[in-house]
Amino acid sequence: MSADTATAKPDAAKAPKKFEVPLALVAILIAAGAIGYFAAFVVGRDSGIDGGLAVGEVAPELTAAGWLNGEPQPVQGNVTVVNGWFYNCPHCWTEAPELAALSEQFEGRSVQFVGLSPEAPESIEQVKDFVAKNGLKYPNGYGAIPTLQAFEVRAFPALWVLDRDGTVIWNRSLEHRESLEDAINRALAKS
C-alpha cells in the first residue's frame, strides 16, 4: 500500500449525501403558514370564533394577582366594561387610548372600566408602561389568567360590557352591530 493510497479520501459518489431542502420549498411553506395564520385570525375575528363569554352569561369575579390604579368596585350595582389585553399585542396598544377617552366620557355615571392582563407579576414594569403610556386611569389587573380563562378569552384585545347584575350584555367578538359606547348607554338605560 503506497502512502498515496492510505491518505486518499473516499470517493464523493460513495459518501452519504446531506439532506438539502430547496429554498423555493422553504419559501412556499413559510408563505402557506403565514396565509393560514392570517386567514384563521381574520375568519375567527369576523365569525366570532374567538368568542369568549357570551351575552346572557354571568361574568366571573374580577380577580388578579395585583392591581394598578386601585381595585375595581363590585360588579353588582355598576355597569362594567372589561378589557382583556397584553403588553405585546399591537391591537391592544391601538385600542387602549380610545378606552381611556371613553372611560373619561362616562366618569361619574356608574360605569367602571377594568383592564385585565395575563402579564405575570414579574412583568410589572411592562404593565406600568402600558397603563402609563395609554393614559389608563382605571383599575388594571395583572396576573389575571384565571379570570381571563373564566371569560373564555381566545384572542386579544377582548372587550365586554356587564350590566349592573354582572351579566354580559355585549361581547365585541360576538356583537358587531352595536358600538361599545352604544352598549354602555344601553346598559345604563336598562337599570
The neighbour count for residue 162, using CB atoms within 10 Å, is 25
| Residue 12 included in any domain | no
Q: Based on the domain organization, do 101 and 27 belong to the same domain?
A: no
**Percent of the chain surpassing pLDDT 90:** 67
pLDDT of residue 24: 66
Q: Which of 37-41, 87-91, 154-158 has the lowest mean pLDDT?
A: 37-41
What's the domain range around 91?
A: 66-190
Q: Based on the domain organization, do 38 and 75 belong to the same domain?
A: no
Q: Based on the domain organization, do 72 and 26 belong to the same domain?
A: no
- The CATH code of the domain that includes 170 is 3.40.30.10
Give the total residue count for the chain. 191
Q: What is the mean pLDDT of residues 23-38?
A: 55
| Predicted model pTM | 0.74
Q: Using the 8-state DSSP alphabet, how is residue 50 labeled?
A: T
Q: Is the pLDDT of residue 54 over 50?
A: yes
Q: Which residue has the higher pLDDT, 8 or 178?
A: 178
Q: What is the mean pLDDT of residues 43-65?
A: 75
d(CA 63, CA 143): 9
Q: Based on the domain organization, do 172 and 143 belong to the same domain?
A: yes
Q: Is the pLDDT of residue 40 over 50?
A: no
Q: Which residue has the higher pLDDT, 6 or 163?
A: 163
Q: For the chain, how many structural domains are there in total? A: 2
| Residue 116 included in any domain | yes
Burial 68-96 (b: 16+ CB within 10 A, else e): beeebeebeebbbbbbbbbbebeebeebb
Q: Is the pLDDT of residue 100 over 70?
A: yes
* Long-range contact set of residues 150-154: C-beta below 8 Å, sequence gap at least 24: 150/53, 150/60, 151/52, 151/53, 151/59, 151/60, 151/82, 151/84, 151/116, 152/51, 152/52, 152/53, 153/52, 153/84, 154/44, 154/49, 154/50, 154/51, 154/52
Written as nine digits, the cell of 85 is 389585553
Band of the pLDDT at 176, cuts 50, 70, 90? confident
d(CA 100, CA 95): 9
Q: For 152-174, what is each residue's pLDDT tens digit? A: 999 999 999 999 999 999 999 87
